[in-house]
Amino acid sequence: MRQYELVERVTRYNPAADEGLLNKAYVYAMQKHGAQIRANGDPYFSHPLEVAAILTDLKLDDATIAVALLHDTIEDTDATRSEIDAMFGEDIGRLVEGLTKIKKLDLVSKKAAQAENLRKLLLAISADIRVLLVKLADRLHNMRTLHFMPPEKRGRIAEETLEIYAPLAGRMGMQDMREELEEIAFRVVNPEALETIVRRLAELALRHKDLISDIETDLGRRFAERGINARVIGRRKRPYSIFRKMERKAVSFEQLSDIFGFRVVVDSLEDCYAALGVIHTTWPTVPGRFKDYISTPKQNDYRSIHTTVIGPQHQRVELQIRTEAMHRVAEFGIAAHALYKDGIAPQKGMPVERPPGASLTGFSAEVKAYEWLRRTIQMLADGDTPEEFLEHTKLELFQDQVFCFTPKGRLIALPRGATPIDFAYAVHTNVGDTTVGVRINGRTMALSTELQNGDEVEIIRAEGHVPQAAWENLVRTGKARSSIRRATRVAVRKQYAGLGRLLVERAFRKAELAFDDALLKAALPRLAQSDLDDMLAGVGRGEIPPGNVVKAVYPDYRDPSPASANPSPSQSAQARRSRAKKANAGIAPVPIRGIEGNLAVHYAPDGGAVPGDRIIGIITPGEGVTIYPIQSPSLKNFDEFPDRWLDVRWEVDQDSDQRFPARISITVLNEPGTLAQVTQVIAAADSNISNLRIRQMPDDFSELVIDIEVANLKHLTRVIAGIRALPAVSSASRVYG
């Protein structure tokens, strides 16, 4: 391409472009690169020129085109930043320098270095989005000419493209760029897989020979009948996106059915929905595949309606419906808006549509794409280690997102698979820390619920509440994970200290000796401790026997006869319960909020406990509290340790769908199908089986011991009644372990 051709290309879409700047950059770069040649023998200058040409396809401003021409001069010639500043202004100098820095980063080296480099890359591109646009065009041209590179270099460049640049292009909404980068890189990284997929695609094309043109014609006719002006563009999925889907979903090519995709481009927002109506009344839809990204746009401003139908040849067909303006954004992403950066008005025929609720969420494409960058960079500033940052970035960069709203309409973007806990932490760390429940679209749901696009999420909070350690397994975002880690460390220590204080109080009461914090503090050196809470936490964890604390305060104290009395084995549950009450006199009951207690809560291992049961908690230092129904025979094992008995009660949310363990024993006649009948009754009563054992008995009977999960005692009673009603069942009852 010649100098005048480049300038002409730019002035065609931007008549106000600074031709002098473009000419000067062209001449300067050409002279600087001089006689340098590329791996394919072309003059080196052909490369920056092609990069500039790619950017004119994206209709970028004159400064960006100039930067593209100059992008390799500092790195590869004797040009300097100050010289470029002097000739082209500081703005362009800064951009060229940014690109020079990125070029030196190795993004596929070992983990720590990679993270550090990724951090630098994001910092460089966050300063000005044009750095990223030029870098992507640079990478695209290098990929197009990759076959001229020595084979040993190709792998690394292709890998880096697949891992970093293609997802970045996608993140910025530049789908065409992303696909081309991926296809070329895929050919280098995994030629065998590419070959297999291409062969299969060819077979498929043969089998469904006219599918694409049939659908294009058919839809075109139906749209015309309804007065909808539409372009229908059919295509097969690209090999790399097929490969990724096969990998991600672990399915074979045969199982992949939606290989055919269509884009329906219409004139107006209303026509999008009208076209959708035509499609849905023509072919049966595939449930769960409908997505309205028009009412809820993606983070990168992508807007379209997606749906999948069973097409005329019984093949799954995916359709994307959008307007011309949306189509342009879908293809060029952030670059579709970059032209307006310098205050140039949008051209006619490119109306800027706003989705409903736009004002609520402060909709703006650039703002949104930048917001992702800003958030990522905020992470990087907060993160302790580069590895941790990489974890964040991988999550953020390589996963799809879901968009949810606060009740006030604030948009919260989260990675796919995120839960209400992620949402709460994304709103604010304090909100996350004090979360106790959630309402999604007005309904109370479990905190483990996977959020969906468009969900309205209302976090229910309780001040003073602390997150559970187990939440770490429920979250997807790095922010939530690190906040939970921090909060639970503090909370666990506090809990153990509280438990320790309880045990110390009891030890003093048993010894009939007085104590207060001052006495305890004075005794700390004798326990080789320096902090009161640390000492109490040590007692709570079972590391320091409470008796030792008494002895540390009163060195002359002698424990009279520790745990020597043998309780009568025939003690009734009632007696035990009153004894438990006595042992707990004056101490507030510990509330058991289902599993929400911050101290680890377990249920009686051989029989469980369910809401509605009268219960006793047994403290096991270092482990937590185990909840037993008052009827459990196991409780007598703890008769000698009244210090470990806790008076507890249920405090379960009525709306909670939490389940609790219980064991039932069933005697059944050995008949075919009996076991199936029993399990069906359990399933039909909305209960789960977590374990099942069968014991043969004499006389054609078997005993089934089944561990099930139920909501409460009423539920359990209903399940048992249902089982008893079966003709083959001779008896069914609950087992208290």
Distance CA 411, CA 363 (A): 10
Question: Which residue in this structure is represented by tokens 């399990």?
Answer: 679
DSSP string, 253-278: TTT----EEEEEEESSHHHHHHHHHH
Strands annotated E in 441-572: 443-445, 457-461
Which residues, in sequence order, are bridge partners of residue 439?
Answer: 444, 458
Q: Which is nearer to Mn ion, 138 or 455 (CB)?
A: 138
Q: Of 138 and 596, which CB lies nearer to Mn ion in the complex structure?
A: 138
- How far, in Å, CA of 672 to CA of 668, rounded? 11
Q: Which is nearer to Mn ion, 46 or 453 (CB)?
A: 46
Q: Active site residue: 76, 83, 183, 651, which one?
A: 76
Distance CA 439, CA 447 (A): 9
* Token pair belonging to 718: 């209903």
Q: Least separation, in Å, of the C-beta of 138 and Mn ion? A: 4
Q: Please say if 422 is a catalytic residue.
A: no
Stretch that binds Mn ion, among 135-143, 266-274, 622-630, 650-658 (CB under 5 A): 135-143
Q: Which residues pair with 405 in a beta bridge?
A: 411, 456
Residues 663-682 that bind Mn ion (CB under 5 A): none
Q: Give the interface segment with Mn ion, choosing from 12-20, 66-74, 323-331, 566-574 (CB under 5 A).
A: 66-74
In this complex, which beta carbon is closest to Mn ion, that of residue 65 or of residue 720?
65
Nearer to Mn ion among residue 143 and residue 720 (C-beta): 143
Comparison of 72 and 271: residue with beta carbon closer to Mn ion: 72
Window contacting Mn ion (CB under 5 A); options: 137-145, 277-285, 391-399, 448-456: 137-145
Q: Provide the minimum distance between the beta carbon of 191 and Mn ion in the complex, in angstroms, as a whole number.
A: 25
Span near Mn ion by CB under 5 A; candidates 33-41, 133-141, 277-285, 646-654: 133-141
CB 48 within 8 A of CB 30: no
Pick from 128, 138, 160, 639 the residue near Mn ion by CB under 5 A: 138
Q: Which is nearer to Mn ion, 145 or 285 (CB)?
A: 145
Range 354-383, binding Mn ion (CB under 5 A)? none
Chain centroid to Cα 20, Å, comes to 49
Q: Alpha-carbon distance 330 to 333, whole Å?
A: 6
Active site residue 76: yes
Q: Which stretch binds Mn ion (CB under 5 A): 64-72, 466-474, 576-584, 707-715?
A: 64-72
Q: Which of residues 552-591 bind Mn ion (CB under 5 A)?
A: none
Minimal distance, residue 487 CB to Mn ion, in Å: 47
Q: How far apart are the first and last CA of the chain?
A: 84
The percent helix, strand, coil of the chain (3-state, each to 5) is: 50, 15, 30
Examine residue 422 and tell whether it contacts Mn ion (CB under 5 A).
Answer: no
For residue 139, the minimal CB distance to Mn ion (Å) is: 8
Q: How many residues bind Mn ion (CB under 5 A)?
A: 2
Evaluate whether 266 touches 228 at the Cβ level (below 8 Å): yes
Binding range to Mn ion, per CB under 5 A, among 134-142, 256-264, 615-623, 701-709 = 134-142
Between 61 and 138, CB nearer to Mn ion: 138
Q: In angstroms, how far is CA 297 from the centroid of its own chain?
A: 18
Q: Of 72 and 318, which has the nearer Cβ to Mn ion?
A: 72
Q: Are 178 and 169 in contact (CB under 8 A)?
A: yes
Closest CA relative to residue 66, chosen from 79, 51, 78, 77: 51
Cα–Cα nearest to 535, from 512, 559, 552, 511: 552
The CA-atom distances, in angstroms, between 166 and each of 171, 184, 185 are 9, 11, 9
Least gap, CB of 51 to Mn ion (angstroms): 6
| Catalytic residue (one of 75, 214, 331, 458) | 75
Write out 601-623 in H/E/C secondary structure. Answer: EEECCCCECCECECEEEEEECCC
Stretch that binds Mn ion, among 9-17, 65-73, 110-118, 476-484 (CB under 5 A): 65-73
In the complex, least distance from residue 177 CB atom to Mn ion, rounded to whole angstroms? 16
The stretch among 23-31, 138-146, 148-156, 584-592 that binds Mn ion (CB under 5 A) is 138-146
Radius of gyration of the chain (CA): 34
CB of 134 to Mn ion, least distance (A): 9
Q: Which lies closer to Mn ion via its Cβ, residue 72 or residue 613?
A: 72
Residue 47: CB minimum distance to Mn ion, A? 6
Quick note: the x/- pattern for Mn ion over 67-106, rule CB under 5 A, is -----x----------------------------------
Report helix, strand or coil for 701.
strand
- With 0-12 CB in 10 A as exposed, 13-18 as middle and 19+ as buried, what is 644? middle
C-beta closer to Mn ion: residue 71 or 659: 71
Nearest CA among 708, 540, 690, 528 for reference residue 610: 708
Where on the phi/psi map is residue 233: left (φ > 0), alpha (ψ -120 to 50), or beta? beta
Residue nearest to Mn ion (CB): 138
Instruction: Report how far residue 367's alpha carbon sits from residue 373's, in angstroms, rounded to the nearest whole number.
Output: 10
Residue 398 CB partners (closer than 8 Å, separation 6+)? 167
Interacting positions 585-644 with Mn ion (CB under 5 A): none
Task: In angstroms, give the least distance from the CB of 71 to Mn ion.
Answer: 6
CB of 62 to Mn ion, least distance (A): 19
- H or E element: which one contains 519? helix 517-523
Minimum CB separation of residue 81 from Mn ion in Å reads: 17
The catalytic residues are 75-76
Binding interface with Mn ion (CB under 5 A): 72, 138
